[in-house]
Amino acid sequence: MFQVVRARLRALVCGARAARRDAGMVTSEYATGIVAAVAFAVVLYKVVTSGAVSAELQSILKEALNARM
């Protein structure tokens, strides 16, 4: 029985050490996600502010505001 308890304690201690080693990975994953989100936002901004898309959005808004029920 002593060996079983000792093995379980060893597994818990080794698991805690592994968790501490991986603690820094979360920050790098957040940083990668933020960089990807900013890049997507820049691309979306460029698409929406382009001439053709801007004109199309303006025409859609004009039709929506001039619509009568």
- What pLDDT, in 10s, does the model give residues 13-60? 776 555 556 556 678 888 899 999 999 999 999 988 888 888 898 899
Nearest CA to 13 out of 23, 5, 1, 24 is that of 5
10/18 Cα distance (integer angstroms):
12
Tell me what pLDDT residue 28 has. 82
Q: Which two tokens stand for residue 13?
A: 């201690």
pLDDT band at 4 (very low <50, low <70, confident <90, very high): confident
Contact indicator for 37, 43 with CB cutoff of 8 Å: no
Contact indicator for 27, 36 with CB cutoff of 8 Å: no
Tell me what pLDDT residue 45 has. 92
Tell me what pLDDT residue 2 has. 77
Amino acid making up residue 48: V
Q: Which sequence spans correspond to the domains of the chain?
A: 2-66
Global confidence as pTM: 0.47
